[in-house]
Structure 1
């Protein structure tokens, strides 16, 4: 038996698959829409199909809210207005999907904890994974970032390798998903105009970024349950290696190290405006961040690029700050600004 699919000329074909209707149920539903008062016997006749099969299909359509018992009290089935029925069906599907997602997330956390405990107690070596080769490392980074649900914490420092660009794209996607992203950048990162542009874009997208004069390692932490550390960088496909550590004491130690470094670092708030010192005795937003960046160990060239000014202009601003604070050096300027409560 062929399923009737008549539609108005020029109309787009309905996306039946999205409704989750089997082909025969679809045929019965169309028959009901075209013959609303015929009931299951009339639809069976219209389709030239066995009445029992049509009744079973009608019951499924009733459960999905596409049919209902007649409001006239006859007990006969009739179609619900499709606008009303399909909106209701869409809401139920959304609610079911939300419940499934929440249940799957909770179950994944619970079973993931069991899995990690099993690895630690029965296969201690299973808490570590060595990834070999640039392509394999990049793929592993992508997988780890894609699995982040709450927070990504990273330390970015030279030497730079291929996965840095991948990590940038994945980090932007994580921000779009609502994942918190915190990054510590070595001061040398901001000496590269291209990387500075990337940092600025990430901060504008919601990343919390800080700069550290000397980053001791490169690191990626995922939800506090796993970590990736590059081991070696080589030019060949097999020269690049990374270590992935799963939920264990080493991950806790790496998280604690990151938090300590985070407290010692200097926040990056985006582009520095070239503003004059305010007359009220304090520091303007641009000069406040300028003092912080100087204290973080950034070079004049890197700060000038971030400010969008020339190195000469930057150095003139630094001299004005030092004169105002009565300091002879940059570090002393930061100390005196803090003592005055300007930072």
Structure 2
């Protein structure tokens, strides 16, 4: 069971895959996502199959021909690029995907009005020029055979690692006048901090905002609930997607468990800080916290909360390995 929704490991970094393989065996798994659009379930990201399923045959054939005249088969073309085309058919396709796939989903996920959505985010929405319905195209795609808890447990199983649970950083860590103190004693080694940078400095400049998710699990007396591991609901319901875990970890059972994801605001002490909210104001606030951190030469900030940025799993593992080599070894 994935407590925080589906997490499929995927990467093109061989180094990252080999490093994690020291701590887990894998079950190969290629994730597929469907989107509920106009009463039909179609592959996401939007691809040639999605186009044929949703649009009239003559229009979809014409669009496919025009797209493949301009781009190689298998390319991922961003809708911002299509919006700038002279061809009205291609502009229509970009607008269609924006309205049907992206707009309402993003409004739910981020709690934003349409005019507040960053155009750069819109520009990253792709059309995949193939019938490949896999959600990821990375070289390595899998889930840990015994789950992420098992993998992390093996990482921590080392005599030099002491794990302190239910302990706030301010119970053991103090930053004072350019020096770091751990358990009351000055610490001159490298200290890696992965928690919230604003919390580390007692919210001196305010609290950096995040979006969170409310995961609601349901058990059903049926063999299967849905035909794919994850189905997105961009335009209906308050939740954004439903995941059925038996697709990820196949078991034979007459019952099944699903989770519905409801986006919500992050409230300190009540839910998890999942996604940093990027605005000019939050970037400036983070910059000011970085200036405070710069006073501590042996403080190393790593991770989504400490760096106030989004990381995929493979990217943060690579970042951690790079930091270790460059700053700690």
Tell me the TM-score range normalised by the shorter chain. Answer: under 0.3
- Give TM-score, length-normalised by structure 2: 0.18
Higher relative CO (CA 8 A, sep ≥ 6), structure 1 or 2? 2
TM-score by length of 1: 0.17
Structure with the higher fraction of residues in strand conformation = 2
Larger Rg: 1
